[in-house]
Chain A
Amino acid sequence: MDRRDFLKTAIVSGVTFVIPNIADTFLDVLEAAEKADLIVAHGLSPASITKAAIDGLGGIKRFISNGDIVVVKPNIGWDRTPEYAATTNPEVVSTVVRLCYEAGAKQVKVFDRSVVDPRRCYIQSGIADASSAVGGIVSFVDDRKFRDVKLPGISLKSWPLYKEIFEADKVINVPIAKVHNLSTLTLGMKNWMGMMGGLRGRIHQKIEGSLVDVAIAIKPTLIVLDAVRILTANGPQGGDLADVKQLNTVIAGTDQVAVDAFGATLFGLKGANIGYVVAGYKAGLGTMDLSKVKIKKITV
């Protein structure tokens, strides 16, 4: 399947479920506001489904208060354009930034410690432009701002982490769902690697415990998992459009383990297949068993 066919199919299939569901959406949102733990929003516009997913959890005001300083942490790890699904969808990121401001946030900061050249990653991913356009304060990671942080010690006793994330009032994790061969998939908790300083490649030796250690230290207020496009092979960097699958989905939740466990299902896997999801569950960070999570699916 070449790229054009792929997009065509994606659009056609997208359209079929959008049309009959428009009327229900509004009711769905209202209903979801009450009880769901995890919202899975589906639809053609990344901005709309991002908003719908957050609204489904009760709206951005449940998470962001007036005057908050917020960090939005996307995956800007690679020098790839958005269609390659190696970095978080820029529209998803900018929607989160915009919503935070609408909820009265004072500052919304966007940054990530890229794996390859950050200048290229920030520009090519489209995230820098999209976020600045809605007022996001986009900055490159400053090496001086890493501070040794004491960690639970599942695998790491301490590690230099980015201090701005601890100085913020609220932190929103905005990862993208991708294949990552060592840890099987990169989802929410894996995204915290972008806040680690030093020679972080070493954590590959004990990746599960290390990621959970960091995930416990950085408690996000909200996780918005981008699955507008997912990368199914040659991750986490990709580079071949044939490995990209268009799901037009955004998942929002507050339980780091549950969001990742659901993320695994996008790839036909279970949370139990992902080492750090299991480790997170064992550490008491969240729920791995999705039957115990109230999941609300919305189509916009």
Chain B
Amino acid sequence: MVKKIRIATQGLFLLIFLWLFLQTEAKGANELGYPVKIFLDADPLIFITTILASRDWYKTLYLAIFVIVATVFLGRAFCGWICPLGTMNNMVSVLKKQQRKTVAIDWYRFKYYILIFLLTSSLFSLQLIGIVDPISLLIRSFSLAVYPLTSSATNAIFDAGYNTNIPFIVSISEFLSSLLKKIFLPFQQPFYLQSAFIGLLFFLVLGLNLLERRFWCRYLCPLGAFLGIVSRYAFLKRSVSEGCNECGACASVCQGSAVPDLKDNWKKAECLVCMNCDDLCHKNVVHFGFMKKQTSAGLDLGKRRMLGSILSGLIAVPLLRITPVVKTGVPDPKLIRPPGALQEKEFLRKCVKCGECMKVCITNGLQPTFLEAGIEGIWSPVLVPRIGYCEYRCTLCGQVCPTGAIKRLNLPEKTKVKIGLAMIDKGRCLPHAHATPCIVCEEVCPTPKKAIWFDQVRVKNREGKELILKQPRVDLEICIGCGICEAKCPVLGQPAIYVTSIGESRSRDNQLLLP
């Protein structure tokens, strides 16, 4: 019975998660209208590491605190009942045969070392949690890989239906396609750099369930480790009364590494409160309750290993920062951050690489970095104008950022923020170099007084015929670096006008013009 309720609860939260994920998409209004980042808001590990790394109080903290309090009462119920990645691991685990013995009984400690490493480095301002936090990992993998691949596959099927040109099949296929478009397909096919890489990592996490059920949750998840530590003092207790004949059946159904068959020596921090041991026990001697007396084994992580994790966390901080990209003027000039992004140092301390901004970006222009911002900044957002520009009146990335790494801007603020500057490559520009009219860049420039203006000049073409041409120029004071000029420049390949990060409002030093 408990099992059914649990599965229903897990299903419900997974559906809520997926539904909110699907709502993380522009519909044309200025706001999304749904609390799409609520799972990230509720993630205590993101909450704590962000506060540690940024030394900055954090606005949407109530839910994360609520989850911590709930864990004090109920143990790792979040893992067993709510976490959408946990639920997906659960689902994939069904493919794995049940077995009595776990792969290696000690591996469960590994996640605590990851946690200690991450907490230590965040204490010294290096924020790496996003790489392995389960909610970040899940949203990033879904946004950048799983959803785009689902959409691509579905559209391929409907395109095939459409291209049959058999009216009957076309109408059915089009009907289904428009229906699915309303329910779950994206407005346009998303494309992301590294999507295959990020997707493979995610499928690896799922695939590990075949090695061991809930492998990720047992051995790797730092959020699980954190909640495990909190849950050691949980009020919800498990007891095994007299009459247990030590049949060991409970050991094989335990979703964590809690070794419930060891009775008094079971590991409370590893219990996901799935209550399978209670459900299954033939003797009905296992009980969960608030009044029970319990004994359980302590969490012994080993002093040397803990010290090792702490030291690694410490060393990681300078190690990842002795890259030249921290010097002014050195970073990849194409590292164009979204509008409202904090100054780079602050930004990296807050960005949790969840990919929400990339998911919501209306033009698909926000892409994950690889090493442009150092290892520290891997999978943080960068605008790649050739893929998509920054839409002038859109403020969605700031609205969905869970930690404020991208500030929430109102419309008037957004239209003033510079994320870079455009410059013209006169060697490629049609009116500048090739005596051919164009000024598409001028047409699409969105500022009320256009940042791209033009000069009327007389030029001669090869035949010596005199033409009057409009040659574009950029007003560096007005240009906000949105990149629509680069996106729409008809000179394909290397564009004739392009944006680099110089001039970005968030930086004091990365400037061209005198203040």
Chain B residues with Cβ below 8 Å from A207 are 437
Q: Are A117 and B362 in contact (CB under 8 A)?
A: yes
* A124 in contact with B438 given A181-B443, A204-B490, A240-B448 (CB within 8 Å): no
Q: Are A79 and B392 in contact (CB under 8 A)?
A: yes
Q: Are A117 and B394 in contact (CB under 8 A)?
A: yes
0/1 string, B45-79, CB within 8 A of A gives 1: 00000000000000000000000000000000000
Q: Are A120 and B394 in contact (CB under 8 A)?
A: yes
Q: Are B28 and A182 in contact (CB under 8 A)?
A: no
Chain A residues with Cβ below 8 Å from B444 are 115-116, 237
In the assembly, what is the distance between CA of A115 and CA of B442, in Å? 13
| CB proximity to B under 8 Å, residues A133-182 | 140, 144, 180-182
Chain A residues with Cβ below 8 Å from B26 are 117, 119-120
0/1 string, A217-255, CB within 8 A of B gives 1: 000000000000000001011111001000000000000
Q: Are B442 and A120 in contact (CB under 8 A)?
A: no
What total of chain A residues lie within 8 Å of the partner, measured CB to CB?
30
Give chain A nearest CB distance to B493 CB in angstroms: 12
* A182 in contact with B439 given A119-B362, A120-B362, A144-B162 (CB within 8 Å): yes
In the assembly, what is the distance between CA of A120 and CA of B454, in Å? 28
In the assembly, what is the distance between CA of A199 and CA of B488, in Å? 9
Chain B residues with Cβ below 8 Å from A262 are none
Chain B residues with Cβ below 8 Å from A117 are 26, 28, 362-363, 391, 394
By DSSP majority rule, is chain B's interface helix, strand, loop, or mixed? loop
B414 close to chain A: CB less than 8 A: no
Q: Are A181 and B454 in contact (CB under 8 A)?
A: yes
- The residue of chain A having its C-beta at the shortest distance from the C-beta of B389 within the complex is A116
B449 close to chain A: CB less than 8 A: yes
B337 close to chain A: CB less than 8 A: no
The size bracket of the interface on B is: 35 or more
* A237 in contact with B28 given A124-B393, A204-B438 (CB within 8 Å): no
A-B contact pairs, 7 of them (CB 8 A): A79-B394, A117-B394, A119-B27, A122-B28, A204-B439, A237-B444, A239-B447
B6 close to chain A: CB less than 8 A: no
Q: How many A-B residue pairs have CB under 8 A?
A: 86
B417 close to chain A: CB less than 8 A: no
Q: Are B436 and A182 in contact (CB under 8 A)?
A: no
Q: Are B488 and A205 in contact (CB under 8 A)?
A: no
A202 close to chain B: CB less than 8 A: yes
- The residue of chain A having its C-beta at the shortest distance from the C-beta of B26 within the complex is A119
Most B CB atoms within 10 A — which of A123, A180, A181?
A181
B203 close to chain A: CB less than 8 A: no
Q: Are B450 and A234 in contact (CB under 8 A)?
A: yes
* A181 in contact with B439 given A120-B393, A123-B27 (CB within 8 Å): yes
Give chain A nearest CB distance to B463 CB in angstroms: 16
| CB proximity to A under 8 Å, residues B430-460 | 430, 436-440, 442-450, 454
| CB proximity to B under 8 Å, residues A179-199 | 180-182, 199
Q: Are B470 and A181 in contact (CB under 8 A)?
A: yes
Query: Top 9 nearest A-B pairs by Cβ distance?
Result: A123-B28, A239-B448, A119-B28, A240-B448, A201-B490, A201-B440, A202-B490, A117-B362, A204-B438
Q: Are A182 and B449 in contact (CB under 8 A)?
A: no
B159 close to chain A: CB less than 8 A: yes
Give chain B nearest CB distance to A181 CB in angstroms: 6
- The residue of chain A having its C-beta at the shortest distance from the C-beta of B430 within the complex is A205
- The residue of chain B having its C-beta at the shortest distance from the C-beta of A186 within the complex is B443
Chain A residues with Cβ below 8 Å from B162 are 144
Give chain A nearest CB distance to B325 CB in angstroms: 32
Q: Are B437 and A124 in contact (CB under 8 A)?
A: no
Give chain A nearest CB distance to B387 CB in angstroms: 14
Chain B residues with Cβ below 8 Å from A144 are 159, 162
- The residue of chain B having its C-beta at the shortest distance from the C-beta of A208 within the complex is B437
With A115-B444, A182-B439, A205-B438 known, 4 other A-B pairs at CB within 8 A are A117-B28, A117-B394, A199-B490, A239-B447
In the assembly, what is the distance between CA of A88 and CA of B335, in Å? 37
- The residue of chain A having its C-beta at the shortest distance from the C-beta of B454 within the complex is A181
In the assembly, what is the distance between CA of A230 and CA of B362, in Å? 28
* A79 in contact with B448 given A119-B26, A182-B443, A201-B490 (CB within 8 Å): no
Chain B residues with Cβ below 8 Å from A181 are 439, 442-443, 454, 470
Chain B residues with Cβ below 8 Å from A116 are 391-392, 444, 446, 484
Chain B residues with Cβ below 8 Å from A201 are 438, 440, 488-490
In the assembly, what is the distance between CA of A181 and CA of B437, in Å? 11
In the assembly, what is the distance between CA of A116 and CA of B443, in Å? 12
Q: Are B448 and A204 in contact (CB under 8 A)?
A: no
- The residue of chain A having its C-beta at the shortest distance from the C-beta of B441 within the complex is A201
Give chain A nearest CB distance to B159 CB in angstroms: 7
Give chain B nearest CB distance to A210 CB in angstroms: 11
Chain A residues with Cβ below 8 Å from B439 are 181-182, 204
| CB proximity to A under 8 Å, residues B334-348 | none
Chain A residues with Cβ below 8 Å from B438 are 182, 201, 204-205
In the assembly, what is the distance between CA of A115 and CA of B487, in Å? 11
B187 close to chain A: CB less than 8 A: yes
In the assembly, what is the distance between CA of A122 and CA of B29, in Å? 10
In the assembly, what is the distance between CA of A201 and CA of B485, in Å? 11
